[in-house]
Structure 1
Amino acid sequence: MATIRIPTTMRSFTSNQSEVKATGATVREVLKDLDTRYPGIGSRLFDERGAVRRYVNVFLNEEDIRGLGELDTPVKEADRITLIPAMAGG
């Protein structure tokens, strides 16, 4: 199982847990499993096409998945996925 770090803004879906576990062979599968275990969080992560929303950054072991294989990046048992909402400024 991969460990997923949940940002404060999404912890209402995970009973205020900062880290949870989910399974899958790819980032996409792990995040889909996360939504199965914690219903509703998927709508905060994915757009209507199934892509990661623009304002959510996903890191696998400290590397942005955009520089890897995106949602198809392979995930190993001990990997950590970190979800970070993009900051808006002005």
Structure 2
Amino acid sequence: MQVITGGHKTVRVAGGSVRQIINNLEADYPGIRERLCDENGIDLLPGIAVIIDGETSQLGLLERVEENSEVHFLPALGGG
């Protein structure tokens, strides 16, 4: 995603939920939503995990985010 963010490894964006964060990221970095969400923007793509303050989100786009939270979008890893 650094290609979309102009090489930045981290960015700051406001939002009270994962959905709002992605919408705000899309406004600043067009094209980022299609790498994270399905074509309708209703759900995260399969294989994308959201980590908020070190905890894996179970609610996807609906997950609430605090003002100073750290949010990571990562490829989900399976184990066995």
* TM-score, with structure 2 as normaliser: 0.85
Identity %, equivalent residues: 30
Query: Does 1:19 find its partner at 2:10?
Result: yes
Higher helix fraction (1 or 2): 1
Aligned to 1:55: 47
Pick one of 57, 68, 71 that aligns with 1:78.
Answer: 68
* CA RMSD after TM alignment: 1.6
What is the CA–CA distance in structure 1 between the aligned matches of 2:8 and 2:34, rounded to whole Å? 18
What is the CA–CA distance in structure 1 between the aligned matches of 2:60 and 2:50, rounded to whole Å? 9
The amino acid that maps onto 1:46 is C
Give 1:86 deviation, angstroms: 3.3
Give 1:56 deviation, angstroms: 1.3
Give 1:70 deviation, angstroms: 2.5
The amino acid that maps onto 1:53 is L
The amino acid that maps onto 1:78 is N
The amino acid that maps onto 1:55 is G
Aligned to 2:32: 41
Query: Gaps spanning 5+ residues in structure 2: where?
Result: none
The amino acid that maps onto 1:24 is G
Give 1:87 deviation, angstroms: 5.2
State the Cα deviation string for residues 17-72 of structure 1 (Å, max 9, x = none).
Answer: 00001111111101111111100011000012321001211111111112xx3211
Aligned residues: 77
Query: Gaps spanning 5+ residues in structure 1: where?
Result: 1-9
